[in-house]
């Protein structure tokens, strides 16, 4: 009877020549088969950027970085990419054309309206409500004002649009004590 070794799927840290290197797992391919991507581009590119940074790819030559980015798009993503009009051979241009192709042009005001109109449904858990708010806020472009602004807006939306008025009251009473969303979520449990 033989045993097989499993390859770890988590990130590992190694030390080489006195420098810590992080071996990161690549994000899933952006578009492996025809159809819609499983992960929105804005989410996927954040995952890819972290992978690129942790893997040290951001320090490589431009053609290698571009080829690496294209390879991570997946089979169908690469087919689509090679049919797009690319102005130059930079990785930034490659990212721009993929984003332009896959991200629908949205009206910031429309996205903000959708976000502000979103209320918790009667049977919806707080975790699901907050997760949905985090998805919706991406299109609002509040991130240009900094991460704290986006967190504050989500926090305010939770307080305003939570279904249970008693929980809302608790949140407002404890507002000074609990500034972070994660602290406030403890009220729900």
Q: What is the pLDDT of residue 149?
A: 85
Q: What is the mean pLDDT of the chain?
A: 81
- Evaluated on CA atoms 94, 146, 37, 25, the torsion sign reads positive
- pTM of the predicted structure, to 2 decimals: 0.52
Query: What pLDDT digit, counting tens, does each position of 80-138 carry?
Result: 999 999 999 999 999 999 998 988 766 788 889 999 999 999 999 999 999 999 888 88
CA–CA distance, 82 with 116 (Å, rounded to integer): 39
**pLDDT tens digits, 149-163:** 888 899 899 999 999
Helix axes 41-54, 91-102, angle to 10 degrees: 160
Q: HEC string of 29-76?
A: CCCCCCCCCCCCHHHHHHHHHHHHHHCCHHHCCHHHHHHHHHHCCCHH
Structure-token match 């729900």, residue found = 188
Domain positions in the chain are 25-102, 108-183
- pLDDT category at 47 given cuts 50, 70, 90 is very high
From 106, 85, 107, select the one nearest 96 (Cα to Cα).
Answer: 85
Of 186, 119, 175, 118, the C-alpha closest to 152 is 175
What span, in angstroms and rounded, lies between the C-alpha atoms of 160 and 116? Answer: 9
Lowest mean pLDDT, pick from 21-25, 50-54, 77-81: 21-25
């Amino acid at each position: 009877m033989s045993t097989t070794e499993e390859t770890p799927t988590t990130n590992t840290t190694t030390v080489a020549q006195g420098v810590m290197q992080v071996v990161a797992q690549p994000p899933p391919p952006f578009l492996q088969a025809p159809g819609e991507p499983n992960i929105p581009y804005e989410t996927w590119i954040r995952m890819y950027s972290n992978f690129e940074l942790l893997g040290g790819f951001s320090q490589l030559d431009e053609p290698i970085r571009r080829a690496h980015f294209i390879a991570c798009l997946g089979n169908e993503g690469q087919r689509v990419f090679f049919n797009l009009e690319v102005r130059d051979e930079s990785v930034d241009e490659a990212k721009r054309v993929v984003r332009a192709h896959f991200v629908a042009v949205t009206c910031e005001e429309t996205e903000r309206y959708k976000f502000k109109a979103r209320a918790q449904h009667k049977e919806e858990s707080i975790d699901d409500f907050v997760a949905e708010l985090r998805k919706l806020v991406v299109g609002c472009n509040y991130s240009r004002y900094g991460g704290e602004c986006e967190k504050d807006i989500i926090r305010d939306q939770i307080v305003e649009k939570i279904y249970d008025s008693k929980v809302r009251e608790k949140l407002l009473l404890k507002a000074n004590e609990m500034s972070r969303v994660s602290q406030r979520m403890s009220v729900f449990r």
